Structure 1
């Protein structure tokens, strides 16, 4: 799964980086559920590209701009604000460069974003948690429209989010059977602020990073390979060679985590800490039974699907509301129960 995502993202970034024509670069959308390693996979590929690109240019900007800070940033990573607006989205992006954003109007911010990406030689722009945008809000619709305008800035746009197909982000798009890509209409911001000369449709490859499955022999082998890689990097003093892959441990770990990479990582990390603190120095089912998975993360939006359901729980983990924040139930005194309700039926 991660290989498929890695190959697509790597291919798209590298091919677009070598283009010199002022045309819209095709982008990539990476979807999946929370804690499945989408961001980590994309960032690893982008980091490898950045290292190769910097080495190819001797860590110097190939087209330096006089009077600008000497910062060559081939890859930019920005997290979508929880309550995004076009202005806050621009400010978050400019914050990566440490650029001034005070007292600037939206057109000025958009122009500064375009100038910053060009001045610093940016080739790939990663926007994480893009599904925090809610398409029933006008501000979020404007923000998504602005995101599409970023594709006119000669960068490869990589959008990472939870359940992109079900989020409404593609409701204006159409799937092109010939190219196997999602085609989105041009942005309104580009026409208003003159960021592109021609109205070129935006194209995205959509790829999904799913959780591990445990049904077919290939799926079982993939999960075992992942566990083998994990146990090869653990240094518990009493750990047997097949600590995670032997006996019934793979099946146990699958039941505890449902194949979600982030939950598996959390369980192994907490288990190792408990093994060291207790002097047990190995992982087994008895020790891991005492490890409770908790996903209290203020940086993740549970309502956007960024927090997965923990096995044994009926819904994704969310913080318990304070007593004074709980909504009172609706008063039903004046509800008409109808003849069947009055008759007790």
Structure 2
């Protein structure tokens, strides 16, 4: 049969080392291989049983890998973010006049897909930019050779300070930082961004830069300095409006942008600046909501897309979209795409392990969504609360069922904790 990948092809596909996007080599690997995962074929239970034990095992491994690598789906919320980020990168890259390039801030709570959405757009921009210039750096100095990196992705360190963040920028290119102080690091970062032809700089988890510390001004000056380097600065973080990064900024209702005033210094840590204001577009990547018919339909469409990617042998059409499943999944995840993905991922594996081979409320009730991720900082809001983690007991005592005074306790599952920015309206 040809419906199962050969062992060596399957092994190469699922055992490769996940790329680190915060290095040049890792980013290039991500950019050139994204979307290349080979989907497992859809088999009926009878077709699966007809396979030899060895090929059946290979197929199970393939579909498990597929369930934990669900493709990124476009949502109405991510589309809004994608359009803005793509427009800013493209328009700024084509500017020839010495005007300040407006930046973009992408905010939202953890596990809402901010990083994946921004990286997908940035990778598409880089594909187009490289094709336009035959994969050559149009600003390269004759007789020299440098890595051409139209996009640089930088992960803000968990214990971030301006100096370590600047070092992370240089680490992307593999540049030595030695024992440089902050002014030297900023100067070296500016040189690296120029030499490598960077058009867009992504600073992920930017709200790890604590604004209540003594070096707050260094943080703001660092951001102003990056905006002076003729690159599109894209800041991604949790609840940016509440983080303090916009503390000195003002909202311009005419342009619908946040305006960061010039620094009081003539030079920012040795980097030449102008007295031009720095502007940012702020956009929120929100979770799914269910207040209107259109919002409910969008969530159902998203579930339908996930359903089509699952390879459960007894799954039927409408497994995730019919009856009360959309409401149940909304209640379990609060409409957060990352929590939904984790619930479906673990539920699909349980369905395979127990032989049920389809998802329903009874099976998903047994799944506890665990968000133990050492790469995320709970203190920065990167790990959201998980609603309705387990099935509620059928029998309730008077003390647990009701509050003092006999009033039934209120279900808070649908309470809105999202960080809608006041400027968004």
After TM superposition, the score normalised by the length of structure 2 is: 0.71
Distance 1:189 1:274 in 2: 59
- Of 346, 361, 367, the match for 1:270: 346
Quick check: 1:35 aligned with 2:107?
no
- Of 278, 284, 287, the match for 1:202: 278
Structure 1 residue 234, shift from structure 2 partner = 1.3
Q: Is the 8 A contact 2:262 2:278 kept in 1?
A: yes
Structure 1 residue 196, shift from structure 2 partner = 3.5
Distance 2:339 2:93 in 1: 35
Greater alpha carbon shift after TM alignment, 128-137 vs 256-265: 128-137
Partner residue, 1:92: 168
Distance 1:267 1:310 in 2: 11
Distance 1:189 1:13 in 2: 28
Structure 1 residue 73, shift from structure 2 partner = 0.7
Quick check: 1:5 aligned with 2:107?
no
3-state SS of paired residue (1:308): coil
Partner residue, 1:286: 362
Partner residue, 1:326: none
Q: Is the 8 A contact 1:126 1:157 kept in 2?
A: yes
3-state SS of paired residue (1:182): strand
Structure 1 residue 86, shift from structure 2 partner = 2.2
Q: Is the 8 A contact 2:248 2:261 kept in 1?
A: yes
Distance 1:194 1:103 in 2: 17
Distance 1:304 1:142 in 2: 19
Greater alpha carbon shift after TM alignment, 77-86 vs 159-168: 77-86
Gaps spanning 5+ residues in structure 1: where?
314-345
3-state SS of paired residue (1:28): strand
Distance 2:189 2:173 in 1: 10
Greater alpha carbon shift after TM alignment, 99-108 vs 202-211: 99-108
Structure 1 residue 85, shift from structure 2 partner = 2.1
3-state SS of paired residue (1:206): strand
Partner residue, 2:71: none
Paired residues in the alignment total 313
Partner residue, 1:101: 177
Cα RMSD (Å): 1.6
Distance 1:188 1:89 in 2: 22
Q: Is the 8 A contact 2:331 2:388 kept in 1?
A: no
Deviations 1:3-48 (A, max 9, x none): 1111111111100000122332000111111111111111111111
Distance 1:65-1:150 versus aligned 2 partners, 3 A rule: same
Deviations 1:112-156 (A, max 9, x none): 101110111100011111111221102244123202210110100
Partner residue, 1:135: 211
Partner residue, 2:192: 116
- Of 297, 300, 310, the match for 2:376: 300
Q: Is the 8 A contact 2:211 2:219 kept in 1?
A: no
Gaps spanning 5+ residues in structure 2: where?
1-76, 390-425
Residues 1-345 of structure 1 correspond to what in structure 2 (within 5 A)?
1-66=77-142, 69-187=145-263, 191-312=267-388
Distance 2:145 2:180 in 1: 20
Partner residue, 1:328: none
3-state SS of paired residue (2:341): helix
Distance 1:283-1:266 versus aligned 2 partners, 3 A rule: same
